[in-house]
């Protein structure tokens, strides 16, 4: 714990098989520790953390004061017992959380690894592995540390790994050992290996490693291609050996994991501030009463010294005032009782159990329930403004399926009749014995086309079976296992397999298939490999008949431009199909072929040979040769693969967006894949104004692109708003060059719009925040990891932040785990907004720990994210319910609880303050000490606990249907400093009434016998009884949702008060404890007096009637959205009952609209291309390095082909990819439109059919006047999920007019009648006069809604 930290490393030196040499550097062991405490440090560290809470320190101070008998008028146990309880409960909770961290750490640290020690392999725990050890890894094992690959069971020292836990990608990646060590396969040779590695110090860069191996007086350079990182899984490799370079906390995985942080909610931080304020207020009251005591003792008290002397320590009025000050501090401390914190913990625990018990968040497929792994953040779930989500495994299932295709102008895979019976899944077994039984396809017309021998269909699937880099393994006859570098390729080859074109095996020079039941072997002449610039790959094969053909597949944006002119008509048809597939969020590839003559092949082969052997610019020469042959191709068709989203992802994102929650996707995937998923889940839509791509390689280029994006936003916004003046006011300091903004795309080519040239004399500052806040329109930002690294630098982060926050959607691609955490920290630092991070892999742990709230998905990438999270469940769609239902309710309940708690305690405590002016400032209490002790524990604790645990303003279904109900939490409207002062003002008013009304009445009142009632005990009982009744009536008014428990607790609190008070003043207790209970029968005699009950009734009425009047006027004149929703619900329920009675229970339901594709497409279109493939596998296959051939065959083949594929990969890693100058880099958004098509009233927001309730048919408008107030921006947000675009409305209809928007969400298929989307901003502006956010209209020609509709209609 107190060990001195070693100095930072400048370089690392590791010698193989020499622990003694390596230990002198004091490198970290391979033991990891994510826990916070151990047995020794738990108590001091945990208490230190708990006393960081101002309240705990405050109560400890009061406890010390109460131990001084001269100033304490209350027993010490009234403070120490609840304080110890709070500290103990919190400590147990923290210990439990840390126990599970220890358990997880032990599970990882105790994994077994084979370590080469003294020439033999020995099983060692991971925690005992040391830097410099040589370890053996076997297939499907996790890599124990960051190791240098020395040798492998595969040829040429190759091995395959899966890096899902590092970067979220499930594609297999290839690594290769240094050639000089690849022959050290035998453990005896490895035991003699004494090479020394000098490399960079530990860092968090996953894609970079730089080092040098010194062995046998030679040195060999090392790169990331030679490293296996901790967290990777060895795949398709029998075994390999590696030298441990970094261990434990020094590994790149742990360097990216981030530290476990102590998280607090904003309410906790606010309460700390309020406690300080209250303490200052308490000191002020103590000073006032102490000054009063000094004055009274000097002027009046001195006259009573003969029979009322001062206590022995007191010898003057000043010292008496000093002691009185501390006495009043103790008496008045109940303005913030310790029971407040006990109650808060109990309420949070209850909310956590509600999350755990929610059956609607239970996944039956994986038998996993939602789990609240912390109890301290529940109310923060109701205040989230930013969600940062991983992609792979979080939004998607990471499963690719062949969904649709277009062949020779004919599309297949469409469901022709959505109203008809569901088509059956095709059974390929009778047709093809080699078919994959797990393959799903439903369109039998494609299978029939194959069966009848359609030449285009056969050529289509022949291309899919030949043009790939998949390896095949046939474990038994017909049992094929495809080892694909990307899931896309596996899906395409599997589709060809099921339709009769089965890829069986390959050698470096041949590909063997089974076509329609007969074996065919093709000669593989060349593979034109894929890379991110070419966006395509090709193979050249010789058919058995001797003909030569090139097969090509790739992005439609690049492949369609390389077709023969005779393909124009077919290209137009296929382009339409590609548009449809892209609109459905499918990943598309175009397919084409070209026949080559023998002379063409010979000539090109010679050019290719020279380019391949070129010493300089080899990659550029090869690209030029590839470009030469990939021309004048004939189009075959296109494929559409579905990267299956998790169920409900688009609906969840749309509803969360309507709740004003911004969603950013941070993924390690490549740009095309991430953008495609963005369209699939409707984060990106074709109706967006513009999608900006930021992919600069330098700080200056990134700054230019960000500024141009902001300038473009302002220009577009001003054009949309009809104002073209001052376009250049927000321009940056750079001229308009380099990046060109995409406005449209026709035929694969872009229209380019240059920024207007600024005046030379005019300064060009960056767009101000005010300008950025007024932007209208929907923009999206896509930024790559290398650009993000520059954007997160100190002098650039505000540029990036202002641009990104003006966008509706932000997607960050190719980001490292640490960059994910940095983006979250950036928002936390500058936006002061509550952030939530959600992910499922170890690469998401740092992001989850950095955010205010971390959510883990227990998915395919392990449980690391779930273990590090605050909440976990199995499906992304449950996030909607977690936030909009549980989060909103938790925030609402906690706010109501705190408001009421401060109110009731000020009402209780301030009575002592007023009483001080009538008791000579003697620190005498109004109530007896038993009432003071039991007030917050028994008399008023249970009703407020019931409200804090069970209360709700609207049902859960309404919370999902009206996402705008979530906004008060984001704006912190329900509990803030203003609400706090209102609560304490009400409490002080109540205390004034409770003191002075009984005082005024009882001072002159008498019993029926003529005995005066103006005695201390009668006054105390009357005031206490009125207080208990008033606060219980108040809690009844504050409770919005009544359960049996609420009734029992409210009535039980009143009953317990009277029972305990009568018992405490009974003869029985007096006989047992005569020194403790002096006032025998005073309660009974007081409560039997009618004047006492009239006094209590009057005080209650004076306290409660103003509250009722204010609430009635507020609901009537200035209703909240929840008030409107409740009122609407009540009206519709009453009307429904009337209709059911009048129609005999028969419902008339309107017809449903069929599901269709999103939006109508004009001339512009975007590409749905996405292909998760890695460069280098083509050369790997043709080199034969990944195939087990005989040494003779391999030597013969190697003499004809290049063996420098790994060098190509290495050079690619160190060269910058030039930015694209055309639209091939990104999807092209549709052109800017100044009008928005309104939604169809009969189309569901979620894309399904919507039944029109009978109330709408009857024209009920009682409660719909306010509901109809929906802004055009709300309509556009809801239209993201609309299944069919509504027909254009009449020209006289204003686009901004209110449009009824149907139900936002129907979980579990529930029907919800009368549920409408509400734009909170519009309702507030029109009904309440609030204008929280500037909103820009999309059409200035149409009258505003506020002008058309008056609040009284």
Q: What does the alpha-carbon distance between residue 1138 and residue 973 come to, in Å, rounded to a whole number?
A: 38
pLDDT at 861: 52
Between 1056 and 1159, the more confident residue is: 1056
- Residue range 824-853: mean pLDDT, rounded: 89
Between 1343 and 459, the more confident residue is: 459
- Residue range 537-562: mean pLDDT, rounded: 93
pLDDT at 1176: 66
Q: What does the alpha-carbon distance between residue 824 and residue 780 come to, in Å, rounded to a whole number?
A: 18
Confidence of residue 741 (pLDDT cuts 50, 70, 90): very low
pLDDT, tens digit, 9 for 90 and up, residues 799-814: 999 999 989 899 998 8
- Residue range 1262-1281: mean pLDDT, rounded: 39
Confidence of residue 1303 (pLDDT cuts 50, 70, 90): very low
Confidence of residue 1011 (pLDDT cuts 50, 70, 90): confident
772: its two tokens: 């950025």
- Taking 50 as the threshold, does the pLDDT of residue 1162 lie above it? no
Winning range, highest mean pLDDT, from 74-83, 1019-1028, 1208-1217: 1019-1028
Q: Which residues pair with 783 in a beta bridge?
A: 694, 812
Burial per residue of 376-387, b for 16 or more beta-carbon CB atoms within 10 angstroms, e otherwise: bbbbbbbbbbbb
Confidence of residue 1330 (pLDDT cuts 50, 70, 90): very low
- Residue range 1067-1086: mean pLDDT, rounded: 78
Q: Which residues pair with 873 in a beta bridge?
A: 857
Q: What is the pTM of this model?
A: 0.72
pLDDT at 229: 93
- Residue range 549-575: mean pLDDT, rounded: 92
Residue pair 517/451 in contact by the 8 Å Cβ criterion: no
Q: In this structure, what are the phi and psi dihedrals at residue 30, rounded to the nearest 5 degrees?
A: -90, 10
Between 918 and 258, the more confident residue is: 918
pLDDT at 888: 95
pLDDT, tens digit, 9 for 90 and up, residues 949-966: 999 999 999 999 999 999
Three-class SS of 388-432: EECCCCCCEEEEEEEEEEEECCEEECCCCCCCCCCCCCCCCCCCC
pLDDT, tens digit, 9 for 90 and up, residues 1030-1074: 999 999 999 989 999 999 999 999 999 999 999 888 877 777 777
Please name the helix (run of DSSP H) or strand (run of DSSP E) that holds residue 599, with its range, or none: helix 598-612
- Residue range 1254-1272: mean pLDDT, rounded: 37
Q: What does the alpha-carbon distance between residue 63 and residue 275 come to, in Å, rounded to a whole number?
A: 16
DSSP for 1178-1210 reads HHHHHHTTTS---HHHHHHHHTTS---HHHHHH
Q: What does the alpha-carbon distance between residue 731 and residue 771 come to, in Å, rounded to a whole number?
A: 11
Between 327 and 1236, the more confident residue is: 327
Q: In this structure, what are the phi and psi dihedrals at residue 1011, rounded to the nearest 5 degrees?
A: -75, 130
- Show which residues are catalytic: 390
Tell me the average pLDDT of the chain.
78
Confidence of residue 749 (pLDDT cuts 50, 70, 90): very low
Which pairs from 209-212 meet CB under 8 Å and 24+ separation? 211/148, 211/245
- Residue range 706-716: mean pLDDT, rounded: 90
Task: Report the greatest alpha carbon distance in the chain.
Answer: 131
Confidence of residue 529 (pLDDT cuts 50, 70, 90): confident
- Taking 90 as the threshold, does the pLDDT of residue 1103 lie above it? yes
Q: In this structure, what are the phi and psi dihedrals at residue 499, rounded to the nearest 5 degrees?
A: -95, 20
68: its two tokens: 């001084």
pLDDT at 685: 84
pLDDT at 635: 95
pLDDT at 1083: 87
- Taking 90 as the threshold, does the pLDDT of residue 1116 lie above it? no
- Residue range 1181-1193: mean pLDDT, rounded: 56
- Residue range 537-546: mean pLDDT, rounded: 94
pLDDT at 878: 94
- Taking 60 as the threshold, does the pLDDT of residue 638 lie above it? yes
Between CA 383 and CA 388, with CA 385 as vertex, the angle to 5 degrees is 120
Q: What does the alpha-carbon distance between residue 656 and residue 878 come to, in Å, rounded to a whole number?
A: 12
360: its two tokens: 């609607």
Which alpha helices (DSSP H) does 739-852 contain, by range? 769-773, 785-791, 797-805, 817-831, 845-850
Please name the helix (run of DSSP H) or strand (run of DSSP E) that holds residue 1211, with its range, or none: helix 1205-1213
DSSP for 268-323 reads HHHHHHHHHHHHHHHHHHHHHHHHHHHHHHHHTGGGGTTTSPPPTT--SHHHHHHH
pLDDT, tens digit, 9 for 90 and up, residues 418-470: 566 677 888 888 888 888 888 999 888 999 999 999 999 999 999 999 999 88
Between 1208 and 812, the more confident residue is: 812
Confidence of residue 1211 (pLDDT cuts 50, 70, 90): very low
Closest CA to 787 of 713, 845, 705: 705
Q: What does the alpha-carbon distance between residue 322 and residue 921 come to, in Å, rounded to a whole number?
A: 12
Winning range, highest mean pLDDT, from 167-181, 491-505, 1168-1182: 491-505
Q: What does the alpha-carbon distance between residue 626 and residue 527 come to, in Å, rounded to a whole number?
A: 10
Give the Cβ contact number of residue 334 at 10 Å.
20
- Which residues lie below 8 Å from residue 162, measured CB to CB, with a gap of 6+? 170, 171, 172, 173, 232, 233, 235
- For residue 94, give the DSSP letter: H
pLDDT at 1147: 38
Which alpha helices (DSSP H) does 940-1077 contain, by range? 941-950, 956-961, 967-970, 977-1002, 1016-1038, 1044-1064, 1067-1072
| Residue 1093 CA to its chain's centroid (Å) | 56
Residue pair 1281/963 in contact by the 8 Å Cβ criterion: no
Q: What does the alpha-carbon distance between residue 726 and residue 715 come to, in Å, rounded to a whole number?
A: 9
pLDDT at 1190: 41
- Taking 70 as the threshold, does the pLDDT of residue 976 lie above it? yes
The number of residues making up the chain comes to 1353
pLDDT at 52: 79
pLDDT, tens digit, 9 for 90 and up, residues 870-882: 999 988 999 999 9
Kindly state the percentage of the chain with pLDDT values over 90.
39
- Which residues lie below 8 Å from residue 312, measured CB to CB, with a gap of 6+? none
Which residue's structure tokens are 């006289």?
1292
pLDDT at 1318: 37
pLDDT, tens digit, 9 for 90 and up, residues 119-159: 889 999 999 999 999 999 999 899 999 999 999 988 888 88
Please report, for residues 663, 737, 1070, the alpha-carbon distance to residue 784 in angstroms, rounded to integers and kept in the order given.
Answer: 17, 20, 80
Closest CA to 486 of 400, 404, 552: 400
- Residue range 250-261: mean pLDDT, rounded: 78
pLDDT, tens digit, 9 for 90 and up, residues 17-40: 999 999 999 999 999 887 888 889
pLDDT, tens digit, 9 for 90 and up, residues 326-376: 889 888 888 877 778 778 888 998 999 999 999 999 988 888 899 998 888
Closest CA to 396 of 585, 162, 662, 656: 585
Helix (H, G, I), strand (E, B) or coil at 699: helix
Helix axes 455-466, 487-498, angle to 10 degrees: 140
pLDDT at 773: 61
Q: Which residues pair with 835 in a beta bridge?
A: 386
- Which residues lie below 8 Å from residue 547, measured CB to CB, with a gap of 6+? 595
Q: What does the alpha-carbon distance between residue 1278 and residue 621 come to, in Å, rounded to a whole number?
A: 50
């Amino acid at each position: 714990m107190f060990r001195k930290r070693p100095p930072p490393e400048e370089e690392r030196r590791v010698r193989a098989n020499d622990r003694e040499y390596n230990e002198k550097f004091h490198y970290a062991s391979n033991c990891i520790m994510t826990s916070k405490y151990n047995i020794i440090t738990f108590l001091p560290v945990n208490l230190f953390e708990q006393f960081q809470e101002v309240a705990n320190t405050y109560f400890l101070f009061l406890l010390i004061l109460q131990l001084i008998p001269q100033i304490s008028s209350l027993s010490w146990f009234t403070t120490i017992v609840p304080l110890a309880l709070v500290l103990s409960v919190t400590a147990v909770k923290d210990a439990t959380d840390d126990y599970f961290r220890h358990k997880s750490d032990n599970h990882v640290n105790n994994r077994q690894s084979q370590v080469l020690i003294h020439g033999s392999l020995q099983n060692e725990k991971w925690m005992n592995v040391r830097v410099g050890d040589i370890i053996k890894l076997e297939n499907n094992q996790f890599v124990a540390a960051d190791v240098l690959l020395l040798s492998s069971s595969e040829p040429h020292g190759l091995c395959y790994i899966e890096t899902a836990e590092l970067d979220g990608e499930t594609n297999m990646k290839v690594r290769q050992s240094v050639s000089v060590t690849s022959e050290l396969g035998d453990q005896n040779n490895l035991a003699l290996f004494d090479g020394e590695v000098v490399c960079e110090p530990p860092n968090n860069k996953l894609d970079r490693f730089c080092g040098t191996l010194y062995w046998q007086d030679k040195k060999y350079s090392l790169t990331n291609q030679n490293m296996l990182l901790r967290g990777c899984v060895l795949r398709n490799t029998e075994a390999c050996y590696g030298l441990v370079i970094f261990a434990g906390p020094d590994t790149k995985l742990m360097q990216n994991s981030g530290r476990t942080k102590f998280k607090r909610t904003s309410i906790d931080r606010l309460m700390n501030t309020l406690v300080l304020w209250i303490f200052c207020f308490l000191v002020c009251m103590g000073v006032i009463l102490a000054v009063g005591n000094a004055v009274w003792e000097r002027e009046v008290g001195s006259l009573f010294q003969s029979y009322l002397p001062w206590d022995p320590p007191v010898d003057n009025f000043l010292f008496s005032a000093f002691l009185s000050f501390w006495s009043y501090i103790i008496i008045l401390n109940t303005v913030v009782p310790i029971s407040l914190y006990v109650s808060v913990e109990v309420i949070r625990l209850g909310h956590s159990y509600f999350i755990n018990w929610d059956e609607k968040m239970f996944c039956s497929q994986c038998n996993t329930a939602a789990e609240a792994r912390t109890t301290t953040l529940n109310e923060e779930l109701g205040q989230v403004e930013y969600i940062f989500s991983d992609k792979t495994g979080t939004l998607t299932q990471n499963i690719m399926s062949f969904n649709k295709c277009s062949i020779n102008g004919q599309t297949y895979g469409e469901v022709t009749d959505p109203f008809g019976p569901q088509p059956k899944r095709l059974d390929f077994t009778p047709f093809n014995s080699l078919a994959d039984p797990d393959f799903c396809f439903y369109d039998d017309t494609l299978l029939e086309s194959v069966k009848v021998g359609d030449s285009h269909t056969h050529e289509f699937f022949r291309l899919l079976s030949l043009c790939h880099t998949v390896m095949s393994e046939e474990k038994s006859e017909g049992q094929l296992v495809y080892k694909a570098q990307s899931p896309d390729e596996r899906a395409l080859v599997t589709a060809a397999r099921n339709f009769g074109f089965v890829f069986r095996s390959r050698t470096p020079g041949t590909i063997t298939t089974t076509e329609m039941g007969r074996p065919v072997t093709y000669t593989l002449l060349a593979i034109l490999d894929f890379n991110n610039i070419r966006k395509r790959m090709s193979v050249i094969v010789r058919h058995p008949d001797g003909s030569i053909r090139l097969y090509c597949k790739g992005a439609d944006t690049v492949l369609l431009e390389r077709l023969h002119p005779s393909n124009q008509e077919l290209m137009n048809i296929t382009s339409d199909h590609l548009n449809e597939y892209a609109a459905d969020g499918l990943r598309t590839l175009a397919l084409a072929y070209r026949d080559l003559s023998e002379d063409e092949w010979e000539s090109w082969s010679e050019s290719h040979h020279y380019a391949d052997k070129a010493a300089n610019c080899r990659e550029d020469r090869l690209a030029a040769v590839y470009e030469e042959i990939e021309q004048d191709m004939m189009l075959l068709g296109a494929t559409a693969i579905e990267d299956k989203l998790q169920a409900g992802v688009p609906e969840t994102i749309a509803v969360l967006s309507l709740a004003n929650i911004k969603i950013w996707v941070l993924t390690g995937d490549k740009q095309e894949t991430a953008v495609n998923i963005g369209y699939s889940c409707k984060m990106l839509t074709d109706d967006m104004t513009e999608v900006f791509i930021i992919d600069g390689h330098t700080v200056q280029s990134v700054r230019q692109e960000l500024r141009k994006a902001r300038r473009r936003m302002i220009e577009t916004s001003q054009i949309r708003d009809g104002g073209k003046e001052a376009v250049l006011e927000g321009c940056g300091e750079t001229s308009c060059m380099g990046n060109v903004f995409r406005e449209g795309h026709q035929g694969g080519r872009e229209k380019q719009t240059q920024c207007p040239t600024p005046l030379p004399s005019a300064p060009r500052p960056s767009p101000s925040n005010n300008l950025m806040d007024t932007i209208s329109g929907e923009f999206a930002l896509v930024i790559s990891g290398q650009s993000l690294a520059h954007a997160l630098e100190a002098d650039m982060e505000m540029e990036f932040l202002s641009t990104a926050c003006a966008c509706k959607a932000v997607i960050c691609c190719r980001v490292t785990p640490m960059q994910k955490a940095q983006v979250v920290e950036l928002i936390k630092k500058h936006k002061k907004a509550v952030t939530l991070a959600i992910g499922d892999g170890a690469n998401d742990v740092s992001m989850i720990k950095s955010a205010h709230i971390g959510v883990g998905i227990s998915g395919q990438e392990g449980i690391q994210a779930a273990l590090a999270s605050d909440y976990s469940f199995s499906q992304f769609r449950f996030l909607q319910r977690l936030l909009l239902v549980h989060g909103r309710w938790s925030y609402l309940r906690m706010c109501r609880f705190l408001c009421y708690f401060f109110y009731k305690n000020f009402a209780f405590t301030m009575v002592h303050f007023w009483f001080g002016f009538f008791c000579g400032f003697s620190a005498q209490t109004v109530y007896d000490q038993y009432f003071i002790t039991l007030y917050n524990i028994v008399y008023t604790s249970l009703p407020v606990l019931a409200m804090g645990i069970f209360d709700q303003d609207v049902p859960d279904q309404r919370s999902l249907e009206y996402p705008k109900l979530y906004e008060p939490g984001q704006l912190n409207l329900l509990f803030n400093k203003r609400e706090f002062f209102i609560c304490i003002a009400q409490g002080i008013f109540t205390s004034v009434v409770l003191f002075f009304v009984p005082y005024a009445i009882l001072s002159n009142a008498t019993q029926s016998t003529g005995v005066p009632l103006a005695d201390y005990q009668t006054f105390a009982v009357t005031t206490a009884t009125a207080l208990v009744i008033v606060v219980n009536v108040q809690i009844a008014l504050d409770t919005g949702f009544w359960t049996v428990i609420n009734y029992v607790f409210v009535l039980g609190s009143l009953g317990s008060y009277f029972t305990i008070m009568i018992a405490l003043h009974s003869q029985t207790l007096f006989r047992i404890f005569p020194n403790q209970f002096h006032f025998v029968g005073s309660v009974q005699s007081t409560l039997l007096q009618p004047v006492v009950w009239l006094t209590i009734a009057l005080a209650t009425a004076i306290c409660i009637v103003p509250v009722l009047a204010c609430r009635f006027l507020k609901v009537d004149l200035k209703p909240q959205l929840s008030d409107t929703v409740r009122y609407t619900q009540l009206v519709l329920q009453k009307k429904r009952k009337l209709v059911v009675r009048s129609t005999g229970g028969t419902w008339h339901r309107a017809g449903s609209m069929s599901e269709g594709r999103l939006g109508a497409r004009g001339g512009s279109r975007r590409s749905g291309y996405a292909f998760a493939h890695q460069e280098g596998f083509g050369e790997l296959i043709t080199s034969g390095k990944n195939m087990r051939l005989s040494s003779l065959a391999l030597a013969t083949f190697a003499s004809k082909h290049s063996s420098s594929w790994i060098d190509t990969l290495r050079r690619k890693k160190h060269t910058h990819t030039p930015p694209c100058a055309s639209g091939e880099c990104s999807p092209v958004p549709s052109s800017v439109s100044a009008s928005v098509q309104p939604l169809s009233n009969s189309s569901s927001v979620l894309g399904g059919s919507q039944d029109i309730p009978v109330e709408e048919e009857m024209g009920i408008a009682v409660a719909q006047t306010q509901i109809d107030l929906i802004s055009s921006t709300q309509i556009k947000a809801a239209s993201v999920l609309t299944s069919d675009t509504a027909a254009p409305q009449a020209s006289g209809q204003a686009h901004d007019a209110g449009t009824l928007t149907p139900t936002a969400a129907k979980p579990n298929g529930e029907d919800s009648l009368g549920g409408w989307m509400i734009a909170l901003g519009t309702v507030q502006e029109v009904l309440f006069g609030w204008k929280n956010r500037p909103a820009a209209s999309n059409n200035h020609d149409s009258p505003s809604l506020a002008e058309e509709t008056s609040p009284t209609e």
